């Protein structure tokens, strides 16, 4: 057993197929909850990273977050007598930083006309993706690199490039409508690149908006469109296509990881049905823990915290398009979480914010390609959970680290985090920890 922030810490590695990688890790977790002495656990945190391909990165995320969570627990008279432990999930995911989302880092990567993406930059992007996909991808990505030179003027090269990338990603998803992946597989290849050739637009808040729960909730936030990058042309479109394909692959893998988490926690609950379980997910880890809640074993955790989640803002919605429920709708309609669900979201999250305007372009829905809550395609880490029934959710803001929330069971709390969360990965601060601990103590 390891420790983190003074709490017992157990690593649990899950592979890309959703299987526990080391059986001894699972056994250690199950054994830990059965101890019946003074160290008997009352609560178990289960936390999953998202866009990371390095266990050290994930552990650093966990360490920073739980340093603040532990401090919040020690300061909370209602929780100080409870006994907590942490299960840290580690799974193979592609790191996806803000810098990687924008095609190149500066003017040095621009061609002579100041708008087109340098071919070398796109080729390096393709090299960096080797090992990302479930399918063997080295040879395919090498072939794609060979198509980059002259791709702007060759429809044949464009078609082959798109087909290579489409061949690498899985096609069995059940939630293709929420992120336009149904269109990704069905649209003609050259049409897809043409749609992605112009820079996507993002929505930028003119003010923070929102209000504390005690002060009444402000549901309006002025937003104005801005360009997320300046690159035009087919090579820039190919870059955006690669970002979308990476997003899609990690979405599918996170779902499988969620199934693995569900299986382990089923064993935990069989040993300790009285144990309170608190699930925390960042980025695609939010998708993983939500998939765990929605899995075959009924877990009914005591709280669910989704930090800058990388799945659709329609995920919990009822008939978001008039006909189709969100992919995770049953989490709400069947009350699969016994306690509150906390969702942090911010316009500062470019990683989630950019992925969904790209989906809008793929769906040829360019007029609404802003990524905000009015877009058909938007991310929960950008906008919170939308199109839910009245009484199922509340809008609020992420409060300072001493703030007090009035959270109730079986309700989603969308916390606008613009003031404290400045990027996709900025989720370890005391304000975030305070919201999680308020959910734990609800």
pLDDT tens digit at each of 442 positions of the chain: 799 999 999 999 999 999 999 999 999 999 999 987 767 999 999 999 998 778 999 999 999 999 999 999 999 999 999 999 999 999 998 766 666 666 654 433 444 444 678 899 999 999 999 999 999 999 999 999 999 999 999 999 999 999 999 999 988 766 677 778 888 898 999 999 998 888 766 555 433 333 222 222 222 333 333 334 568 899 999 999 998 899 889 989 999 999 999 999 999 999 999 999 999 999 999 999 999 999 999 999 999 999 999 999 999 999 998 899 999 999 999 999 999 999 999 999 888 877 777 877 787 665 554 677 877 788 999 999 999 999 999 999 999 999 999 999 999 999 999 999 999 999 999 999 999 999 999 9
pLDDT at residue 299, rounded to an integer: 97
Q: Coil, strand or helix: which one is 352?
A: helix
Tens digit of pLDDT for each residue in 384-401? 999 999 999 999 999 999
Phi, then psi, of 423 in degrees rounded to 5: -160, 175
| Cα–Cα distance for residue pair 172/299, rounded to 1 Å | 25
Nearest residue to 417 (alpha-carbon basis) of 262, 322, 306: 306
E strands present in 168-318: 201-205, 223-227, 276-282, 303-307
pLDDT at residue 99, rounded to an integer: 61
pLDDT at residue 257, rounded to an integer: 97
pLDDT at residue 405, rounded to an integer: 97
- Return the CATH class of domain 2-94+252-346+425-440: alpha beta
For 106, the token pair is 């500066």
Residue 210: count of CB within 10 angstroms of its CB: 22
For 137, the token pair is 């991808």
Domain layout of the chain by residue ranges: 2-94+252-346+425-440
* pTM exceeds 0.85, yes or no: yes
pLDDT at residue 369, rounded to an integer: 47
Q: For residue 334, what are the CA distances in angstroms to 96, 157, 298, 299, 392? A: 33, 48, 10, 12, 12
pLDDT at residue 210, rounded to an integer: 32
pLDDT at residue 173, rounded to an integer: 65
| Cα–Cα distance for residue pair 293/297, rounded to 1 Å | 8
């Amino acid at each position: 057993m390891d420790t983190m922030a003074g709490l017992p810490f157990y690593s649990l590695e899950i592979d890309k197929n959703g299987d526990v990688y080391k059986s001894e890790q699972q056994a250690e977790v199950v054994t830990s909850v059965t101890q019946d002495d003074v160290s008997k656990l009352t609560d178990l945190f289960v936390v999953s990273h998202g866009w990371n391909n390095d266990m050290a990165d994930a552990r650093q995320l966990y360490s920073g977050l739980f340093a603040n969570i532990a401090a919040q627990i020690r300061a909370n008279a209602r929780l100080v007598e409870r006994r907590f432990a942490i299960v840290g999930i580690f799974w193979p995911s592609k790191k996806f930083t803000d810098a990687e989302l924008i095609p190149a880092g500066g003017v040095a990567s621009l061609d002579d006309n100041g708008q087109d993406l340098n071919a070398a930059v796109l080729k390096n992007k393709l090299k960096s993706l080797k090992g990302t996909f479930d399918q063997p991808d080295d040879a395919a990505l090498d072939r794609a690199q060979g198509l980059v030179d002259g791709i702007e003027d060759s429809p044949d090269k464009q078609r082959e490039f798109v087909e290579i990338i489409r061949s690498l990603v899985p096609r069995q998803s059940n939630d293709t409508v929420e992120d336009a992946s149904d269109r990704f597989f069905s649209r003609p290849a050259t049409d897809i690149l043409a749609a992605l050739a112009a820079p996507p637009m993002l929505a930028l808040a003119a003010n923070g908006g929102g209000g504390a729960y005690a002060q009444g909730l402000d549901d309006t936030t002025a937003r104005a469109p801005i360009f997320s990058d300046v690159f035009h042309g087919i090579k820039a479109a190919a870059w955006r296509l690669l970002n979308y394909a990476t997003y899609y692959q990690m979405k599918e893998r996170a779902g499988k990881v969620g199934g693995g988490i569900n299986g382990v926690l089923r064993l935990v609950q069989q040993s300790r049905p009285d144990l309170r379980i608190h699930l925390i997910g960042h980025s695609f880890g939010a998708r993983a823990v939500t998939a765990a809640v929605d899995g075959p074993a009924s877990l009914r955790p005591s709280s669910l915290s989704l930090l800058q989640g990388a799945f659709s803002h329609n995920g919990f919605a009822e008939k978001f398009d008039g006909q189709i429920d969100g992919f995770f709708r049953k989490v709400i309609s069947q009350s699969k979480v016994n306690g509150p669900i906390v969702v942090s979201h911010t316009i500062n999250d470019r990683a989630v914010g950019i992925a969904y305007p790209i989906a809008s372009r793929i769906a040829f829905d360019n007029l609404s390609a802003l990524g905000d809550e009015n877009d058909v395609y938007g991310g929960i880490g950008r906008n919170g959970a939308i199109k839910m029934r009245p009484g199922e959710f509340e809008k609020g803001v992420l409060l300072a680290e001493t703030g007090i929330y009035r959270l109730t069971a079986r309700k989603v709390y969308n916390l606008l985090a613009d003031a404290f969360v400045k990027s996709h990965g900025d989720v370890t601060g005391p304000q975030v920890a305070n919201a999680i601990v308020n959910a734990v103590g609800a």
